[in-house]
Amino acid sequence: MRLSELLLRTRKEAPADAELASHKLLVRAGYVQRFGAGIYALTPLGLRALRRIEAVVREEMEAIGAQELLLPLVQPADAWQQSGRYDAIDESLLRFTDRAGHRHVLAMTHEETATALIADIVHSYRQLPLLVFQIQLKFRDELRPRGGLIRLREFLMKDAYSFHASEEDMARCYAEVAAVYRRIFRRLELPVLEVAADTGIMGGAQSHEFTLPCAQGEDRLLVCGCGYAANSEVAPVSAKHGGQVAREDLRVVETPGAHTIAALCAALGVPADRTLKAVFCAAGDETVMALVRGDREVCLPKLQTAIGTAVRPLSSAESRARGLVVGFAGPVGLRLPGPLRIVLDAGLMGAEGLVAGANQEDCHFMGVSAERDIAADVRADIALARAGDPCPVCGVALSEERGIEVGNIFKLGTFYSRSLGALATGADGRAAPLEMASYGIGITRLLAAIVEAHHDDRGIAWPPSAAPYAIHLVAAGDAREVCDAAERLYSDLGERRVLYDDRAVSAGVKFQDADLLGMPLRVTVGLKSLAQSAVEIRWRAGGEAELVDLSAAADILQRLGDGKSGLY
């Protein structure tokens, strides 16, 4: 491809709101262009890189017998209502009504549609197991899109679904796809961590994430030298209420202006772990009070798992509208006009001598007993894990890393097959719901993640497996012999492999753009090298410049490109 003909505009300045290196560089290098919050266009160069990533993913999925299909982005709401997710998912699921009055969604994931398709085709265990996948657009109405391609509203994703006659067979496939994911990330040169994760809106019993360590990533990972690793949202918290305190009489104390845990501790001279933090959420019309130690935070994914339904935090105004005394609300004797569910963190079970809101302005209870005074509907681990908590495997203090999730896998069980009627007759003649698993990789997010892992202060340094072109050919100067030699080399190598900078600009500008665009191998044709009947080659990811004999350059460069990428 001639750079003079390529639809491309590079920029000297990054977007003012860009924080991640991938966001800055993909925009500066002209791979993407923003059209709205979380909505980006890919230029021909960006799309070519994306297609290279797709090719790796598709090749590895097909290698284990996965069949590719294509499911609709616009879906009737019926299947989502049958699964229960139509009402359970918040506003991130975009719902709309067509001109005929039928309700639809823009799919953020395709479990319902995939299950409905299989339910119509598969009826016997002899047709199983099945593994299908697609590379398809998704839409998630993110409240706060961020990070360029990291958190988008519209994005491209590879999602796969497997269907089985037994839980054992599903577990076998789950492990096989996990191994495929490791191969994909190795080929793309992404050093990912595999961590236990929350099942979230997908449902099911178990999930794992593949996460790229990144200091500015939005995922918090807790890791241990023994090999344990988990997203902080699922890591168990074993911390209990501090110290042994005898049971006390319940009493009300005045705490004017003590709306926060810090203010309360200062007013009463008590440590934070002896206070109760109450977080209020909505689960439909029901108010959910989540209670943790004052020095901990409520983990919303754990809370949702504990009560079996989606929740969202209440604003101060919403809390007041539901009858709560904001800043002074507590579980002791609380009565609301609507339904209330109290969830007590497992770390508070058996705790005595606590301080909690008294449901009166500027007042708190002291001497609260978790067992005597709190009528908890649910008791579960709902606290957010943090660095310093003991590893659940070996007991050593956990450390924290930040990361970017690039893939996830879920054991779904029969969550969808039961509700959508995906049944198969077994060898015993009885029909049973299919065991399912799902497997996702964010293709657009991978594009950004690869840049996060492969860049320097000059620009992008694509690994060969994802690079739009194997070679960046530079004609350094406008001398006739330079242009003629570059044209011959371009013709010999072929435009499918080469990005040829034939522009009438200075060599310095060409070298800067070559570093910014990041093709793996730069080949420079200039008067100095031609005087030695050679061209200069330099690997973008490092290494000294070398001279290659001009007469053999095409053959040598072909072998170098093929050996590095295996896909050109």
CA-to-CA separations, 173 to 65, 115, 118, 170, 416, in angstroms, rounded: 11, 17, 17, 5, 18
Label each residue of 232-270 as H, E or C. CCCCCCCCCCCCCCCCCCCEEEECCCCCCHHHHHHHHCC
Nearest to 343 by CA among 290, 293, 303: 290
Q: What is the mean pLDDT of residues 466-492?
A: 93
Highest mean pLDDT: which of 55-59, 334-338, 557-561? 55-59
Are 217 and 402 within 8 A, CB to CB?
A: yes
pLDDT tens digits for range 381-415: 999 999 999 999 999 999 999 999 999 999 999 99
**Average pLDDT over all residues of the chain:** 92
Asked if the model's pLDDT at residue 204 lies above 60, the reply is: no
> Would you tell me the crossing angle of helices 480-493 and 553-565 to the nearest 10 degrees?
50
pLDDT at 297: 95
Asked if the model's pLDDT at residue 197 lies above 90, the reply is: no
Distance CA 483, CA 394 (A): 65
Asked if the model's pLDDT at residue 566 lies above 70, the reply is: no
pLDDT tens digits for range 345-390: 999 998 999 999 999 999 999 999 999 999 999 999 999 999 999 9
pLDDT at 143: 85
Segments of 141-285 assigned E as strands? 154-164, 193-196, 206-213, 219-223, 229-231, 251-254, 276-283
Asked if the model's pLDDT at residue 563 lies above 60, the reply is: no
pLDDT at 551: 82
Q: Which helix (H) or strand (E) holds 60?
A: helix 44-63
Cα dihedral: 4, 8, 9, 11 (round 10): -110
Q: What is the mean pLDDT of residues 76-100?
A: 92
Are 243 and 449 within 8 A, CB to CB?
A: no
pLDDT tens digits for range 115-154: 999 999 999 999 999 999 999 999 999 988 989 999 999 9
pLDDT at 542: 83
Residue 179 tokens read as 């191994």
CATH class (in words) of the domain with range 469-565: alpha beta
Banded model confidence at residue 233, pLDDT cuts 50, 70, 90: confident
- Fill in the DSSP letter of residue 73: S
**DSSP string of 513-531?**
HHHHH--SEEEEEEHHHHT
> Domain-by-domain residue ranges, the chain?
21-235+400-452, 251-380, 469-565
Nearest to 179 by CA among 204, 212, 210: 210
Asked if the model's pLDDT at residue 5 lies above 90, the reply is: yes
pLDDT at 568: 41
pLDDT at 567: 37
pLDDT at 12: 92
Q: What is the mean pLDDT of residues 495-500?
A: 89
Length of the chain: 568
pLDDT at 45: 97
pLDDT tens digits for range 346-358: 999 989 999 999 9
Q: What are phi and psi of 518, to 5 degrees?
A: 85, 25
Burial of 460 (0-12, 13-18, 19+ CB in 10 A): buried
pTM of model > 0.95:
no
CATH class (in words) of the domain with range 21-235+400-452: alpha beta
Asked if the model's pLDDT at residue 242 lies above 80, the reply is: no
Around Cβ 304, how many Cβ atoms within 10 Å? 22
Asked if the model's pLDDT at residue 201 lies above 60, the reply is: no
Q: Which residues pair with 455 in a beta bridge?
A: 460
Distance CA 501, CA 77 (A): 50
Asked if the model's pLDDT at residue 545 lies above 90, the reply is: no
User: Which CATH architecture is the domain 251-380 placed in?
Assistant: Alpha-Beta Complex (3.90)
Residue 226 tokens read as 């023994």
Cα 293 to chain centroid, rounded: 29
Q: What is the mean pLDDT of residues 58-84?
A: 96
Banded model confidence at residue 199, pLDDT cuts 50, 70, 90: low
Asked if the model's pLDDT at residue 451 lies above 80, the reply is: yes
Q: What is the mean pLDDT of residues 208-216?
A: 92
